[in-house]
Structure 1
Amino acid sequence: MVSDPKHIIAQRLAKVYQNACMAELEALKPGNVHIFADGHGMVVEQFITSAEVSANVIANPSFSLGQRIYESVAATHQAVGCNTNLGIILLCAPLIQAALHSQAEPFEAALTDVLAHTTIEDAQWAFDAIQLANPGGLGQSAQHDIHESAQCTLLEAMQAAALRDHIALQYANQFYPILHEGLPHYQQALVRWDRPAWATTAVYLYWLAHHTDSHVARKYGLEVADQLQKEAREHYLAFLNQENPKLYLPTLRAFDRDLKNQGINPGTSADLTVATLFLHHSLVVA
């Protein structure tokens, strides 16, 4: 019996997703949990488990976009009981949706189509997922508040939040920053050093240096987020100047300890990093 091609692609995408989550953990990312150091009351094993259980559902070919988001968050919450991957799921779900439906058109066109046809039901699924994950610093919103019933499509909700949330901005801009900033930076670093972990650290530092981390801004305010961005820019430039990035890792470890001692967790930059890695590999699969 011949297997359904869409199910075969879904299985491959699930594996790519899980591998992207694991690859992000294997790189030194100052302020976040990784194999070099736990932090913020969480341990790396929780993220490994989260990657595994969410991979089991996030590429289900029968799910709508909203259901894909909710079921992945619910599986994670049941397994680890805390928010380890909400941003990752919000970013990767539409990429997976597009990859599953991009056989007849280019990937970017498929992604634009997925985003353009989100529904109010998708928004409600996503609102429920965000409430379940309960990310740090989440407050009330004057427009499209997630604590109320959805009255707009998921894309409209993301467009309304785009100025204050960099994950929402990806939806609003058809993932242009990831496709045309993060992806080429990762690929260039990979070609230069031929070390995925170093390339991952490079793209993480790129996000941290070039875009205000909205998780930090939401929890601690723009002044703290801007100072973090300034420090990250210095480390990003220094890291790129290394012929052997391994020599700069002790400096990044010190930066990592300093951020964790302050309780600063640049979670959005880590989420964007996973989505970048996923996109790099998923374009080959799809």
Structure 2
Amino acid sequence: MRTPAQNARLALLLEVAGTPKPGNVDRRRDLADLRFEHFLAGTVGAETGLEMAQHGDQVGDAFERAIEGMAAQGGGNTQFGALLLLVPLVRTAADHDRLSPSVVESVAEGTTVADAAGFYRAFDHVDVFVDDPPADMEPLDVRRGSEAVPAIEKRELTLLEVMDRSVPGDDVAREWVTGFERSFAAADQLVEAEGPATDRAASIFLSLLAERPDTLVTNRHSQEVAREVSDRAASLVERDALETDPDAVESFADDLIEHGINPGTTADVTAAGLYIALERGELEI
């Protein structure tokens, strides 16, 4: 039987191996400076941090260590957002017989100022794309990394409160304040789907992208671009194109890669859904 930390690493591997995942690295597609192998190495590097979460370390410390290890490869940021979802899920799974939104909420609500500091220190290890904060929030700009920790401590912000301040512009943060709503829904869809786990991951990714514009695409490009991408995904899902017209999905994937459109937040939620299904024993590998 796999441990919670092992299931988290498996979820990361299954997510990146699923194909096609339009706009994202998968086993058939690389980005200009970010390759499939970087994601494999990032998963290996995250091992210690995930095991810290499993063994009861503070969420912030475990997350920082996972990011430090993940970043020890040549591609840069591979799974920052996914690990921000997986670390609290692993921490929850270690203490409860079954993952549920309510128990994950209790872990999020129990985070501290020290956890928020660990989250900020994680930005010292890797460059992460984030939008510019409002002028009055500049002292809390996550890109300042550990330099922003005194401001966090002065305002006594917990990690959950930091996540709450990032909504609605960041759908990874949104998961934290909604009981991982989309992650659990994705897990349910994965269980109901058919075929190998990697095919299911690709299918759920496309469904999630169709359901809600990706916030990373919004922040890097615009709301209009994100909506257009979501609408195109919805059209493919509506006609079950993965089964009836797989070439159309492949073409969509290639087009997003060509135009530098990367729905990375959707991939993060897909990884979290995979983890929940694996940890519950509902997705057998």
Q: TM-score, normalised by structure 1?
A: 0.87
Q: 1:188 maps to which residue?
A: 192
Measure how far apart 1:57 and its partner are. 2.6
Q: How do 1:131-146 residues align onto structure 2 when only pairs under 5 Å count? A: 131-141=124-134, 142-143=136-137, 144-146=140-142
Q: Is the counterpart of residue 162 in structure 1 residue 155 in structure 2? A: no
Q: CA separation of 1:41/1:172 partners in 2, compared to 1, >3 Å: closer, same or farther?
A: same
Q: 2:252 maps to which residue?
A: 255
Contact conserved, 1:215 with 1:265, CA < 8 A, in 2?
yes
The one-letter code sitting in structure 2 at the alignment partner of 1:57 is: G
1:130-171 CA distance string (max 9 Å, x none): 353222244334444323222311101111111111000000
Once superposed, what is the RMSD of the aligned Cα atoms? Answer: 2.0
Contact conserved, 1:99 with 1:107, CA < 8 A, in 2?
no
Q: 2:6 maps to which residue?
A: 15
- Where in structure 2 are there 5+ consecutive unaligned residues? none
3-state SS in 2 of match to 1:50: helix
Which of the residues 69, 84, 93 maps onto 2:78?
84
For residues 123 and 137 of structure 1, the distance between their equivalents in structure 2, rounded to whole angstroms, comes to 17
For residues 223 and 108 of structure 1, the distance between their equivalents in structure 2, rounded to whole angstroms, comes to 32
Measure how far apart 1:255 and its partner are. 0.9
The one-letter code sitting in structure 2 at the alignment partner of 1:185 is: Q
Contact conserved, 2:102 with 2:179, CA < 8 A, in 1?
no
Q: 1:115 maps to which residue?
A: 108
The one-letter code sitting in structure 2 at the alignment partner of 1:33 is: V
Task: Give the number of aligned pairs.
Answer: 267
Q: 1:24 maps to which residue?
A: 15
Contact conserved, 2:34 with 2:75, CA < 8 A, in 1?
no
Measure how far apart 1:26 and its partner are. 1.9
Contact conserved, 2:217 with 2:225, CA < 8 A, in 1?
yes
Q: Is the counterpart of residue 200 in structure 1 residue 201 in structure 2? A: yes
Q: How do 1:220-235 residues align onto structure 2 when only pairs under 5 Å count? A: 220-235=221-236
1:83-126 CA distance string (max 9 Å, x none): 001001101011011011114x8644431211111111111111
The one-letter code sitting in structure 2 at the alignment partner of 1:271 is: D
For residues 130 and 236 of structure 1, the distance between their equivalents in structure 2, rounded to whole angstroms, comes to 36
Measure how far apart 1:207 and its partner are. 1.3
Measure how far apart 1:228 and its partner are. 0.9
For residues 226 and 128 of structure 1, the distance between their equivalents in structure 2, rounded to whole angstroms, comes to 33
Q: Which moved more, 1:78-87 or 1:63-72?
A: 78-87
Measure how far apart 1:14 and its partner are. 2.0
Q: TM-score, normalised by structure 2?
A: 0.87
The one-letter code sitting in structure 1 at the alignment partner of 2:160 is: L
Contact conserved, 1:40 with 1:263, CA < 8 A, in 2?
no
Contact conserved, 2:59 with 2:111, CA < 8 A, in 1?
yes
For residues 233 and 122 of structure 2, the distance between their equivalents in structure 1, rounded to whole angstroms, comes to 31
Q: Among the aligned pairs, what percent are the same residue?
A: 22
Q: 1:70 maps to which residue?
A: 64
- Where in structure 1 are there 5+ consecutive unaligned residues? 1-8
3-state SS in 1 of match to 2:141: coil
Q: Is the counterpart of residue 277 in structure 1 residue 271 in structure 2? A: no
Which of the residues 95, 103, 112 maps onto 1:101?
95
